Amino acid sequence: MTHHAQSREVEHGPLQGLVQSGRFREALAHYFRSADSTGSATPQSRLLAAQAAARIGEFEVSARLTASARAAFESAKDVDGLLEATNLLGAIAFERGKIKDAEKHFTAVADLAERHGRARFTARGASNLGNIASLRGETGIACGFYQRGLELFEMLGDSRGIAETCHDLALELHKTGALAAARDANQRAVERAEQVGEAGLIALTLLGRAELRIANGALEDAREDLERAERLAWEEGNEPHRLEAERLLAVIALRSGNPAEAHRRAAQVYARAAEAQFAVLAAEARSLAALALKALGRHTEAVASRDGATVALRSLGASGHLARLSRDWESICI
């Protein structure tokens, strides 16, 4: 091993270990301490720090680090680094509600990966394009993307990819009425996440199972999943997962006949999600707050919240969410 290779390993080896173990806040702190002491950082370590920042919802920091790393990878003609950085830019854009930018980045990842024979990134690109189709209410297209991604992840034996894609596929299959298939896909997601052992991945799949259980009326089982998911999210400092758990607890409160609690939780999630630029989550929480306000008989406030959510969802192109908001609004009688 050359001295240069050793230096790179020493520089971002501990950082990589922190990121892989889900200790994202520690990873970010470690990166900035190292960068401050050395005055520079490799594009690989910048990308690792960007991944950690994205996991805890620090999207401004993540976007800055990712863009810097991507430029270095492009200059060095490092295809794998370029794919990783472009994929992360897409994920950041998606979370912040810049859906056209996200689609551009994910399409670039899929095309570049296909040209260079990088199956893992082809799978990621497909799964991420599935998320965009899902947001737009294009369920058949979304399922097709997820199936493609899942096939590749299975071929590669990538347990993380299998868990994440089965999670997405389960929620989409449920929309089609394929309840047994959705349940099977979700169970596979949970099992794979437990095998990987990363807190954030386990929390993600538990959130998916809770959402399915809420839809099927198993509210107490869903609550148990959410309590564990929220605990895991707190442990790793993953604010998006923690806020999603709170949003689903608000859904349970509304379905249990407690609109006051539902509104309190939904309003808190909306305020924090809007502040942190979690655009889709903020729109969903505002929709839920509107429903709770209507159930409480606070019609003027409910209409204002619904209209604000509608504007946000339209800007995201979230046709499926808009249709669900309309159905749920009409179903609440006071």
Mean pLDDT of 285-301: 98
Burial 290-319 (b: 16+ CB within 10 A, else e): bbbbbbeebeebbeebbebbbebbeebbbe
Last residue within a domain, chosen from 82, 117, 152 = 117
What phi and psi values does residue 182 have, to the nearest 5 degrees? -65, -45
Is position 97 within any domain?
Answer: yes
Residue 59 pLDDT greater than 50, yes or no: yes
Average pLDDT over residues 246-258: 98
Q: Say if 267 falls within a structural domain.
A: yes
C-alpha span between 84 and 188 (Å, rounded): 26
Q: What is the pLDDT of residues 84-104, one digit of tens each?
A: 999 999 999 999 999 999 999
Q: What is the pLDDT of residue 235?
A: 85
Amino acid (one-letter) located at 4: H
Determine, yes or no, domain membership for 247. no
pLDDT of residue 40: 67
pLDDT at 13: 75
- List the domain range (segments joined by +) for residue 89: 23-117
Task: Give yes or no for a contact between 287 and 263, defined as CB atoms under 8 angstroms apart.
Answer: no
Within a domain: 268:
yes
Boundary-marking domain end, from 49, 84, 117: 117
Q: What is the mean pLDDT of the chain?
A: 92
Question: Rounded mean pLDDT of 196-219?
Answer: 95
- Report the candidate in 180, 254, 266, 243 with the shortest Cα–Cα distance to residue 219: 254
Q: Is 30 exposed, middle or buried (0-12, 13-18, 19+ CB in 10 A)?
A: buried
pLDDT bucket at 5, cuts 50 / 70 / 90: very low
Among 68, 89, 117, give the residue marking a domain's end.
117
Residues 57-84: what's their mean pLDDT? 95
**Residue 99 within a domain:** yes
Percent of the chain residues past pLDDT 70, beyond the cut:
94
Is 112 part of any domain?
Answer: yes
Question: Residue 84's domain is classified under what CATH number?
Answer: 1.25.40.10
Domain count across the chain: 2
- pLDDT mean over 28-50: 82
Among 49-63, 124-138, 246-260, 287-301, whose mean pLDDT is lowest? 49-63
3-state secondary structure 60-107: HHHHHHHHHHHHHHHHCCCHHHHHHHHHHHHHHHHHCCCHHHHHHHHH
Residue 14 placed within a domain: no
Asked whether residue 270 is domain-assigned, the answer is: yes
pLDDT in tens, 304-321: 999 999 999 999 999 999
pLDDT band of 334, cuts 50, 70, 90: low
